[in-house]
Structure 1
Amino acid sequence: MESPELITVDAGPVGLGARSWKAGSGRPVLLVHGLSSNARLWDGVGSHLAATGHPVVAVDLRGHGTSAPVSDTNDEDDLDAPAVDATQAAARDLANVCASLGWRDPVVAGQSWGGNVVLQLAADRPDLVHGLALVDGGWLHLGDQFPTLDDAWGVLAPPRFDGMTADRLRGMLTSGHPGWEPWAIDATLANLREDDDGLVSPWLSRERHRAIVGSMLRHQPRKLYPLVRCPVLLLAAVSEQGPGRKGELLAEAAAGLAHAEVVEFRGGDHDLHAQYPERVADLIGGLA
């Protein structure tokens, strides 16, 4: 794989760490990771897209990966200022990233929560987004499942890594994802920092993680579907046990979006971009 250049992109109020493949004159592609993930999970997709002539940037959202944590309020000097909604703030950051890069009509892809973020971007800025790829996300409606944040957090809180070493976690990831290439395992490990003793802890703070879950609880993609004008691909990992609730949400999204196509990955992992980078890249490239 072609290695990306590590850059910092001006996103308005914050600078975001990013991975950049400066390729040919094809339509640019912006890649957005999910909750508590990082831009390196897109390396396989980014490399394949660059090989076909597309300039590609994969960003680390606020508080993730190489991007610094930022204040949880709109005013750092006012502790009583209203909290920033994480999903809407991330969408605004992406619009600023495109402006900083000089991109006017990119294809934008987001995975999991990142799908919800890029859907918000496409709804807010229909003039900006040429095509949208929602990778096992973008149709997430946590508010349908959980009445309160405490209820959601009780199910969705991330595991604690007390005493976990990087070597042990690598072994667990390799066993759990036998079909993944080594780079994808390394990229997943990059969700966490490693201290001098080899112990790991998440880059994303637990407090910010909870705040994002709260934002997802409030976020209602179905209200945004009518506002999205560009072609949309819904890439879904589908269980062999049947579609269940995901199938219902996919069908709702496909019906609510004006130009949508569903592509199913039977037995696929939630991180489809790490598991099937070439296929995902080909599908994203098809939107260009």
Structure 2
Amino acid sequence: MTLRLRHRAAAGIGTPFLLVHGLSSNARLWDEVAVALAAAGHPSWAVDLRGHGESDAPKSGYDTATAADDLAAVIDALGLDRPVVAGQSWGGNVVVRLAAAHPKLPGAVGLVDGGWIDLHSAFPDWESCERVLRPQDIDGRPADAMRQWLESAHADWSATAKEATLANMRVRPDGTMERRLTIPRHLDILRSMWDDPPGPDLPRVTVPALLLPATGPDDERAAPVHRAAAALPAATVRWYPGSDHDLHAQHPDLLAADLLTLVRAG
């Protein structure tokens, strides 16, 4: 199996970054963050996880533990020395598992509105979770309709971020879309998140961790963030009140500046 990487070289030889997208997303959402990191002298690699983006889509392995092992294999293959590993949404959960299961690989972790997602605590049973979070079947819809929706829903995002979001789908020759990550595989990952929440892993993360939630400290959604920060041995929280879940798309420069603090911390 081959995972596709997007590499952003830097003039300096600073600490490298490995950037991990969320569920049904892709590496391109990190492009503008990677530009800012490279400008600060830090090379970066953003990975398309299996079944996502332009990576291979094997029949199995759509779970948090396998995704973390895939990241470990990427770090080893690239020869990265204690990189800062940042993950968004489900990617944050994957990064937590990586740091817990492979403690010698990351030098620090950035958790971008994820890493504390616990579906088992959020829903009374798996059937309720699946019913609420099952993605829409958008295969066959016009790609132009998605572009129009992105323009209206995310007017503050750059054209780069909007096109990166559109890349979560393939555009067929007839101008319609299809999901890169199929709905059954999406549900496999959701079921893994239900069965395997990050709580037990958090105390095992020995490296510095920066939590970057898209909420404020007093918001009702902040309780899991506070619990995760308390469980992590070395945690800092940088709040983004009133922001979108896709912080790396909405605030790439600000997010990059925050992630760079992990270089000093690690």
TM score, norm. by length of structure 1: 0.88
Q: C-alpha displacement at 1:16, in angstroms?
A: 0.3
Q: CA deviation at 1:85?
A: 5.8
The answer to whether the 8 Å contact 1:21/1:56 transfers is yes
Alpha-carbon distance, 1:225 to partner: 1.4
Q: Decide whether aligned partners of structure 1 residues 239 and 233 sit closer, same or farther in structure 2, where only a CA change above 3 A counts.
A: closer
Aligned-residue CA RMSD in angstroms? Answer: 1.3
Aligned to 1:237: 214
- Alignment-derived partner of residue 248 in structure 1: 223
* One-letter identity of the residue aligned with 1:222: G
**1:43 lines up with 2:31 in the alignment:** yes
Deviation at 1:163, TM superposition (A): 4.1
The offset of 1:239, in angstroms, is 6.5
Instruction: Confirm whether residue 34 of structure 1 aligns to residue 9 of structure 2.
Output: no
Long gaps (5+) in structure 2: none
Number of matched pairs? 262
Deviation, 1:162, is 4.4
Aligned pair 1:266/2:244, yes or no? Answer: no
Aligned: 1:159 with 2:136: yes
Contact 1:239 1:268 in 2 (8 A): no
**Matched residue, 1:10:** none
Q: Which residue number corresponds to residue 197 of structure 2? A: 220
Deviations 1:156-200 (A, max 9, x none): 011121442111110101100110010000000000001111001
CA gap of 1:85–1:178, structure 2 versus 1, over 3 A, is closer
Identity among equivalent positions (%) equals 47
Residue 53 of structure 2 is aligned to residue 53 of structure 1 = no
**What stretches of structure 1 of length at least 5 have no aligned partner?**
1-13, 73-83
Amino acid at match of 2:43: P
User: Which digits, 9 at most, give the CA deviation of each residue in 1:101-147, with x for residues without a partner?
Assistant: 00120000000000000000001111111111000000000011224
Deviation at residue 149 of structure 1 after TM alignment: 3.0
Partner residue in 1 for 2:51: 63
Q: Does 1:193 align with 2:180?
A: no
1:15 counterpart residue number: 2
Match of 1:11 in 2: none
**Other-structure match for 2:252:** 277
1:25 aligns with 2:1: no
